[in-house]
Structure 1
Amino acid sequence: MHSACLTSTHMFPFITTYLFPISSVIFIVSASDCHIGYMEKDPERRNDSLNTFEELLQQAREQKVDMILLGGDLFHHNKPARYFRYHCMRLLKQYCQRDEPSPIEIIPHPDETSSFPVTNNTLTYQTPVFSVHGNHDNPSGLGNLCALDVLSEAGLINHFGKALSHESVEMCPVLIRKGQTKVALYGLGSITDKALHGMFEKGKVSMSEPPVDVQSWFSMFVIHQNRAYRGDKEYIPESFLDEKLKVKLDLVIWGHEHDCQLDPVWYKKRFRIIQPGSTIATSIVKGETKQKIEKSFPQTVFQLQLAHWHFAMDKPFMNAYGSSGDQRQIHEMYKDTADHRTTDVHQKSRLKFAEHRLDPGDVDIESKVEEFCAEQINKMVEAVTRDNASFPKRPLLPLIKLRVDVSGGYPTFNKRRFAQQFVNKVANVRVHGHDEQNLIDFKDKDERKKTVSDRQ
């Protein structure tokens, strides 16, 4: 039975007592959804994903981890631009390559018929990187290849979890050993949720066990699928991992979901689930406003200890719930004009629209509403500027979302024209074709009520 000792840290080394010698402790950093290449056409934000990826590798090196485990979507596009492929390879060589040999070893699995080959079965670098692919950088086209296959062939990562059949999935573990500790690492790259859901229901998903002494292996499973419910067959229930797989799992690393859930959750006391979340916000929504934090854990035969750190280079990122991390700030403010109040989700402050003489019947109400919204955004920008003084590594421009409820007869205005006054003040100003990235959004409760009434 594996026991757990859980701690948290903010970029500090582990201070702990191990039940086994340090030569048997496998130090692992887990991350997911780095989305390298996101916003590649935006000069202000195109390097955000590279900056956080570099910080991930840098912290892994400083903490002297034995391996890095990625949960998919390393790249944002199936065919990433040369610029991002080049810098990704450069960073992997810079931070993962050292003169010393890797302290862990991969044991060949005797099951040669497995549909999950390890495309690079050698540990070229002192800090090896293991990764499954995600839905953004999934294999396709001639040869069914993806960017991870290229990196793997170059010896920069170990790409595993690639299904070679659309009818069934058989996972063979990557067998990793360090001293007395043995880890069976299973992986499943992204498959259409509906198709994988059907395979699970038909019993077409299986795992092969380690060849000898099964109970002595710690089983980890990396998966990149919908975890949250998005339709009856548009997600993978956690129960499937317990009921449909014959192998007993100890730990599941769940990629694809961008919401960082810091602490491991037990599923019926059978296995624990860690959801690292994304290293960068790819949409300005509530789930993305949580602090971007990565998991680091040493693994021994009987002890699993978890720690985490806050990213310092994901743009100013003060989430809507008061975190003080160093990422690119996302600040959301909700205006309820119908009730004549404003609620700042971060500061929980309230302002009376009446104090600003915002009367929906005023002939100049449109310009006054626009001026008031600009005033609120400027206040948020000022708050970011003050916070930046405490975080020198934080990029200057924040991500800001202003949601305005125009119920009660209040007018709207041109979003794009409005946003131009915040060029060089806010990061998400020059956004084209990404409505979720808009600086300001309007909603009308009265209009929604009317629509529902018409349908009835």
Structure 2
Amino acid sequence: MAAEASAAGAAGAAAGLPGDDGGDPDMLRILVFTDNHCGFMERDAVRGEDSFLAFEEALQFGRKEGVDFAVNSGDIFHENRPSRYTNHRVLSALRTHCMGSRPIRFELLSDQARHFGSEGKFRRVNYMDPHFNVDMPVFCIHGNHDDPTIDRGDASLGALHVLEAANMVNYFGRQRSVDDIVLEPLLFRKGKTQMALYGLGNMRDERLHAAFMADKVRFMRPTNAGSWVNVLLIHQNREDPRRGLKSCIKVDFIPKFIDLVIWGHEHDSRIVPQPTAGNHFFVSQPGSSVATSLMEGEALPKHIGVLEVKHSRFRIVPHRLRCVRPFLTESVTLAQEPAVSSAMAAERAEGLALDDAMPAGSAAVRAAVQDALEARVEALVRRAAEELAARPADELPPKALQLPLVRVRVEHTGLPALSNKIFGADFAGRVANPGDILLFHKARPKREPRGKAASSAAAGSDLDELIQHQGDGADRSSMTDLLRDTLKGMDGKLRALTDVRLIGALERFVWENDAAAFQEMVDQRLKRLQRNLMDQAHAQLGAGRAQRADSVGKLIEEDTARDHRSWPPHWAIHEQEPQAEP
């Protein structure tokens, strides 16, 4: 029944749902937005305001539409520890657009203390606080950029806890254990319409994948389950063969009674609900509201939407964001550019008598490369201006956002790479990213089996390249594999620092911009070992130095083994043979 209801709802106009509730007492209207990444490049003179303007536009649109409430699938913030400026901008936007005197037109039937607040505080939804007039509540989960981390002592805090303490958002979807993940829904009712909202804040994809495989994820259902529209907010990698089998969440993991999944984390905007295989449920991928990596998916138009739910039917009405900077991208193979290939042929023919090797770095070839890439960028800049001119006036971005982003991916095997800063100087004032217009890469040959030393050196080289271009779509599983290969090539084993914790800290440092990731990992590790040593201090008082050293070594080995059992199995370097996936 739920799947049939979803199919009717996703049909849009055919479902008979008007664009405005018109006072309809049975229709829930919900603002859907995600991945705002507030604070992204906030210190950049040109792009510093991009994320904030898009975030404010989303809230303004929800208020204009008179939605009942808003849902966000994670990554409101771009950094785990946002700056004071970012916190101020986000709090100001929420206070401006989410507070007012409109009545709340829906009921929340769930036990609020089970879903909201932390450390015994703020155990209710924000609009129930008598000291605040909240008339557009925001319900959100955390993403991988703003997830909680150990901050002081054993307290796990994130950027959303600050918003929660300020009574600006209703933060839910947190899990206390990776060994027993229980999802209890928020139960909403408006007239005769009932909706169950499930939330699952971001977890490491490998951990969550393993939990699903081990049947450690449970979805609790309300009584009279067939009368509810079930919606899930999630912030994880979607299934993609390039990411590896365990670095994503398969749609098969999601129970069939779910009607709609609002999928965060993926930045390309595909907000119109699409059916999964078998039409068991629908997936809406709103995408990000700001381009954080200059890759092809980010060049799609950005959207938010209004989810309309009435009885057992639903649909999402998309809205294209105005406050988004134009972004154009293309790929080029230098060797196939006519001017470059001609210069190469001329240089090769001229130099054959003296040297059979092609002087790829000669002045003529470099000039041809420069001219070819400049022509490509000029064409993209013209195209951006033409596309802006063709848009209606009410759909144009503000003037501050009309300077375009341009990215050219350049395959330059056998040819020189140009300096991005020198190349981009000619386009300063014409594009928003003059310092990183070009992304050079080489075609990767098929790799042959290598010895231990060669493998370690190559892994280190690949790791450097992957981190250098991590903002342009390098996948997380590749980085993990390369670091693991590098550590395998070390002569001595890691002792006090375990391999899985080192990999975890590197992931946080690279992918979540957490500058304190390594320091926190070291501090936590030392505290853990010191606590274990103190537990055995009395037993070791009369022991000799050698015996005490053996005891310390044994504690480290036990602690390392514990890490390997509790963290994703394929992260560990010294592991058992991998088992075939069921």
TM-score (norm 2): 0.65
AA of the residue aligned to 2:220:
S
Deviates more, 1:51-60 or 1:167-176: 167-176
Q: Equivalents in 1 of 2:19, 2:45: separation in Å?
A: 44
Partner of 2:9: 4
On the 8 A contact 2:227/2:312 being kept in 1, the answer is no
Aligned Cα root-mean-square deviation (Å): 2.8
- Between structure 1 and structure 2, the one with the greater Rg is 2
AA of the residue aligned to 1:337:
L
Q: Equivalents in 1 of 2:58, 2:103: separation in Å?
A: 21
On the 8 A contact 2:73/2:233 being kept in 1, the answer is yes
Shift of 1:416: 2.1
How has the CA–CA distance of structure 1 residues 203 and 99 changed in structure 2, closer, same or farther, with 3 Å as cutoff?
same
Which residue of 423, 428, 431 maps to 1:426? 431
Q: Does 1:168 align with 2:168?
A: no
On the 8 A contact 1:120/1:157 being kept in 2, the answer is no
AA of the residue aligned to 2:232:
F
The superposition leaves residues 35-56 of structure 1 with CA deviations (integer Å, 9 ceiling, x where unpaired) of 1111123121121110110111
Which residue of 72, 94, 106 maps to 2:96? 94
Shift of 1:114: 11
What secondary structure, in the 3-state scheme, does the structure 1 residue paired with 2:255 have?
Answer: helix
Q: Does 1:280 align with 2:290?
A: yes
Shift of 1:276: 1.1
Partner of 1:231: 244
On the 8 A contact 2:116/2:170 being kept in 1, the answer is no
Partner of 2:125: 121
How has the CA–CA distance of structure 1 residues 112 and 222 changed in structure 2, closer, same or farther, with 3 Å as cutoff?
closer
Partner of 1:397: 403
* Counterpart mapping for 1:4-403 below 5 A: 4-7=9-12, 15=18, 22-109=24-111, 119-123=123-127, 124-141=133-150, 142=152, 143-210=155-222, 212-229=223-240, 230-242=243-255, 248-267=257-276, 268-315=278-325, 329-340=326-337, 352-353=338-339, 358-359=343-344, 361-362=346-347, 363-389=363-389, 390=391, 391=396, 393=398, 395-403=401-409
AA of the residue aligned to 1:385:
A
AA of the residue aligned to 1:369:
V
Which residue of 437, 441, 444 maps to 1:443? 441
Shift of 1:112: 5.1
Shift of 1:231: 1.8
The superposition leaves residues 272-305 of structure 1 with CA deviations (integer Å, 9 ceiling, x where unpaired) of 1111111111111122221111222211112212
Shift of 1:25: 0.4
Q: Equivalents in 2 of 1:137, 1:113: separation in Å?
A: 18
On the 8 A contact 1:109/1:175 being kept in 2, the answer is no
What secondary structure, in the 3-state scheme, does the structure 2 residue paired with 1:404 have?
Answer: strand
AA of the residue aligned to 1:252:
V
Q: Equivalents in 2 of 1:152, 1:139: separation in Å?
A: 13
The superposition leaves residues 330-373 of structure 1 with CA deviations (integer Å, 9 ceiling, x where unpaired) of 21233333233xxxxxxxxxxx438x964454552212321332
**Hey, which of these two has a bigger chunk of strand by percent?**
1
Identity of aligned residues (%): 30
Q: Equivalents in 2 of 1:111, 1:204: separation in Å?
A: 23
**Hey, which of these two has a bigger chunk of helix by percent?**
2
AA of the residue aligned to 1:32:
T
On the 8 A contact 1:119/1:153 being kept in 2, the answer is no
On the 8 A contact 2:265/2:287 being kept in 1, the answer is yes
Q: Equivalents in 2 of 1:249, 1:413: separation in Å?
A: 51
AA of the residue aligned to 1:424:
G
Q: Any unmatched runs of 5+ in structure 2?
A: 128-132, 348-362, 452-582
AA of the residue aligned to 1:442:
F
How has the CA–CA distance of structure 1 residues 114 and 424 changed in structure 2, closer, same or farther, with 3 Å as cutoff?
closer
Q: Equivalents in 1 of 2:342, 2:56: separation in Å?
A: 49
Q: Aligned residue pairs: how many?
A: 409
Deviates more, 1:262-271 or 1:108-117: 108-117
How has the CA–CA distance of structure 1 residues 412 and 253 changed in structure 2, closer, same or farther, with 3 Å as cutoff?
same
Partner of 2:357: none
What secondary structure, in the 3-state scheme, does the structure 1 residue paired with 2:254 have?
Answer: helix
On the 8 A contact 2:116/2:124 being kept in 1, the answer is no
Shift of 1:227: 1.1
Q: Equivalents in 1 of 2:364, 2:292: separation in Å?
A: 37
Q: Equivalents in 2 of 1:260, 1:128: separation in Å?
A: 24
How has the CA–CA distance of structure 1 residues 113 and 16 changed in structure 2, closer, same or farther, with 3 Å as cutoff?
closer
AA of the residue aligned to 2:312:
F
Shift of 1:119: 4.8
Q: Equivalents in 2 of 1:380, 1:113: separation in Å?
A: 48
Q: Any unmatched runs of 5+ in structure 1?
A: 9-13, 316-328, 341-351, 431-437
On the 8 A contact 1:171/1:187 being kept in 2, the answer is yes
Shift of 1:108: 3.0
How has the CA–CA distance of structure 1 residues 372 and 68 changed in structure 2, closer, same or farther, with 3 Å as cutoff?
same
How has the CA–CA distance of structure 1 residues 261 and 357 changed in structure 2, closer, same or farther, with 3 Å as cutoff?
same
How has the CA–CA distance of structure 1 residues 338 and 121 changed in structure 2, closer, same or farther, with 3 Å as cutoff?
same
AA of the residue aligned to 1:270:
H
Shift of 1:256: 0.9
Q: Equivalents in 2 of 1:57, 1:110: separation in Å?
A: 24
What secondary structure, in the 3-state scheme, does the structure 1 residue paired with 2:85 have?
Answer: helix
